[in-house]
Structure 1
Amino acid sequence: MKKLMRLVFVLCLLVFGTQVAFANSDKATILEGADITGIHRLALAKPLYIPSSNLAPTMDQLIQIEGDASKVARMYVIPYPTAAESVKTDTQVDILALDRHQAAKVFKDNASKYADAYVVLTVANDSRTSFFFDVYKAGTNELLYTYQIQANRSEKDSVATYQNFCEQFYKNFERSIADQQKDNDKAEKKAK
């Protein structure tokens, strides 16, 4: 009986240890004083990204992945190509044809016409792939929220990994909005 209990104990340690070893590390931060509860429309800016290998998605694939992953979100998400087309219609400036810096400036100047906030994805491909999502208030370009997720060592730079990371961002962002709304409601009730 003791041997059976030891075996069960060792198996439990292995199972739980494996889950921890394969978990992605992530961190969400709402900047002090930032109110994200009013964000209902989110525009996607062009990601800051350079593919690290032949297996990694291209820039166009990443833009598509980021837009497709928004299907898990309940809020209205405006993909970068849609935002670029809207900017072109309104200003006659094709941000897809501009260099990265000029396109970013024109995008930021016009984002408030289409969304409450916009998100800039930065991908770092060091020993492990890391995604940094920075959410800015449209119009003022004030940083409101950051989300970082890092791949574990076994995850490859693949479409599936990138899709998962983008979906995790949308889920965590909406969870952060809901948590801040709950905190605001509690504070309001407490003040009464």
Structure 2
Amino acid sequence: MGEQASCRRTSINLQHLKGLIQEETFKPKQRWSWWRLCYQLRIGKPATQVLSRLRLAQWLQHVGARGLARWLFNGLALRFGVYVGPRTTIGEGLHFPHPISVVIGDRLVLGERCRLYQQVTLAGAPKGQAPFPRLGNDVVVYPGAKVVGKGRVGNNVIIGANALVNQPFGDDVVLAGVPARVINTMR
């Protein structure tokens, strides 16, 4: 599967949190500030609100403030319909163009620069396997797609709308159908 997303837990310190939020939610020339983060959390676009809350919740989980983290994770689920397992590792550059009804199960590893559209389901890690790499780097998952069971994809993959990925696939492919199959390669 090429270079799969790393399975090791990455520590999120305050500088890493600031860098993630700066990259994913602030405009390129905006400088970091706690006021700007508060604005994004409360008044920003839905996609930036979701990403800011998600990253803040992950950081709080890491530093041991599990109650506040749980409150933010539950707020994501209630307000936007976005469920993210608290023990999931997500690489830099995550993007939700339409953050509605997205489920990212627990104990998963998602690579860098993933783009998840609405109604996407990434099922939690299979029993006995933790953490479980589900998506590689530079993966686009279009609306309604599901990645379940032993399903995982490598780097530079496109998963078409309403596809059901239930087996492993490699790098540089376009997947579609139920169950998913390779319909094109990107080489």
- Asked if Structure 1 and Structure 2 have the same fold, meaning a TM-score greater than 0.5 normalized by the shorter chain, the answer is no
TM-score (ref. length: structure 2): 0.32
TM-score (ref. length: structure 1): 0.31
Higher relative contact order (CA 8 A, sep 6+): 1
Q: Which has the higher helix share?
A: 1
Q: Rg larger in 1 or in 2?
A: 1
